[in-house]
Amino acid sequence: MHRSVVLLAVLVACSGKTPGADSSTFTPGVDSADTPDVTHPYVDQVQAACTTGETGTPEVTDAIRLESTVTWTLDFDADAEAAGWTDCAYTRTFAGTQRLDIPHVCPHCDVLTEGEATMTEGFDDCYEPLFGGTQTRSESWGYAGSSLFRRTGVQLPLSDEPLAEFGALSGDGTPVDVAWDSEYGVNDDDGNEVGTFTLAAAGTVAWQADPTTPLTDPFGPRAAPYACGWECNDPGTLSGAYPLAPGAVMPNFRLDDQCGEGVDIHDFYGSYIVLDSAQDDCGPCLQMAEQAEAFRADMTDAGIPVRLVPLLGNGLGEVNGTPSPTTHAEWVDRFQPHDPVLADKGWGYAAIGRYLADHEDRDISWPAWIVVGPDMRVIAGSVGFSSWDRIGTIITDDWAARGETGPL
């Protein structure tokens, strides 16, 4: 019997970048406009639907609530003041609630919170004239030990480098001091630097468990088999971690499919998985989806199990966002996929984007892709889509290298 292999693909082209030259020899043999329902006994066996759920009860814990009050002070140097800039300050408060379902956003955090930051002082006479924006915005705050991590927005990756170190630890709601600073240049209307300013932040941060906000383990056992009929092949022995790297096991993650259920990516162990970080307003993403079933039929005909799994975002204007149920359903209705379509929560942008930058010397754009083997180990990744040929070559070359040369 053949061993099976797993592929993960996320394809990137909507940034206007030109995909690399395609030297593949794989040739699709099925017209995507009229794809037959191709089956194969080995593929059917690997991808057979599970019939029971998982034993156990998901753990429930109290969410961590984090609050802060920080004042930013702008101190312009003499040159900047001579050019008309004036020292000022503004203050923001933040209140956020812990999220357990997006560890890819800050894998180095002990706790990640998301919430709303509100400017309470200095908006009209300091912040808005200099930076524009609004008095309220979404932010992410996390901590690991005494290290603070922070960024504007939600479901966006936080830096590996801490923003600041706490002078003491909270945990019971006690405010602890925190401070950081940075220096920036000041430009005139023509873009010429006319001075600098120091932006110094100082304030307090506090966190504690909130018994009124219970959180259920988002990766806990499922009570029933998948309504959409997916397999449950997770061997239960994998221990992948972020960031992704060639040869390393991909960590499990769970996102909602077209049946409204959270799907564990490790349950597709034993198939190539093509994860495609897609946006519904990205032309190459749509082209990829239109040709996906023909490609899948070719792989199945060759006896190679493949799962093609789009990670659907909220459009190019919010690539880290989660699509609405309507957007999700419209994608499924349009392409009628054989495989899961998962509503993303920034996984593609955070995990694949980091992989591309670290190991493929590429910036993420849409679509973007990555290839993983049957043991969930990352093989390769890249950007751009013109056809499935390159991905097909990666799969078939890996299949042959593992001693898998075709159907039974």
Shared-domain flag, residues 253 and 174: no
pLDDT of residue 20: 33
Among 191, 215, 239, the domain boundary falls at 215
253-290 in b/e form (b: 16+ CB < 10 A) is bbbbbbeebbbbbbbbbbbbbbbbbbbbebebbbbbbe
The residues that bridge with 67 in the sheet, in sequence order, are: 95, 206
7-58 pLDDT tens trace: 333 333 454 333 333 333 333 333 334 445 789 999 999 999 999 999 999 9
- Coil, strand, or helix at residue 310? strand
| pLDDT tens-place string over residues 85-105 | 999 999 999 999 999 999 999
Residue 406 included in any domain: no
Residues 394 and 249 both lie in one domain: yes
- 202 in the same domain as 231: no
What was the pLDDT predicted at 11?
A: 33
Residue 32 confidence (pLDDT): 38
- The pLDDT score that the predictor gives to residue 404 is 67
Q: Identify the three-state secondary structure at position 147.
A: strand
- 31, part of any domain: no
| Amino acid at position 369, single letter | W
**Residue 138, φ and ψ in degrees, nearest 5:** -85, 140
- Kindly report the backbone phi and psi dihedral angles of residue 159, in degrees, each rounded to the nearest multiple of 5, phi listed first: -60, 150
Question: Tens digit of pLDDT per residue, the chain (408 long)?
Answer: 333 333 333 333 454 333 333 333 333 333 334 445 789 999 999 999 999 999 999 999 999 999 999 999 999 999 999 999 999 999 999 999 999 999 999 999 999 999 999 999 999 999 999 899 999 999 999 999 999 999 999 999 999 999 999 989 999 999 999 999 999 998 888 888 999 999 999 999 999 999 999 999 999 999 999 999 999 999 999 999 999 999 999 999 999 999 999 999 999 999 999 999 999 999 999 999 999 999 999 999 999 999 999 999 999 999 999 999 999 999 999 999 999 999 999 999 999 999 999 999 999 999 998 988 888 999 889 888 999 999 999 999 999 988 865 543
Position 368 scores a pLDDT of 95
**pLDDT tens readout for residues 263-279:** 999 999 999 999 999 99
In a domain, 16, yes or no: no
**208 and 225 co-located in one domain:** no
Write down the pLDDT at residue 189.
Answer: 84
Looking at 215, 248, 264, which one is the last position of a domain? Answer: 215
Total number of domains constituting the chain? 2
Owning domain of residue 377: 41-56+221-401
Cα 322 to Cα 320: distance, rounded to the nearest angstrom: 7
Close Cβ partners of 230 (under 8 Å, ≥ 6 residues apart): 49, 50, 257, 263, 267, 268, 340
User: Which pLDDT value is given to residue 405?
Assistant: 59
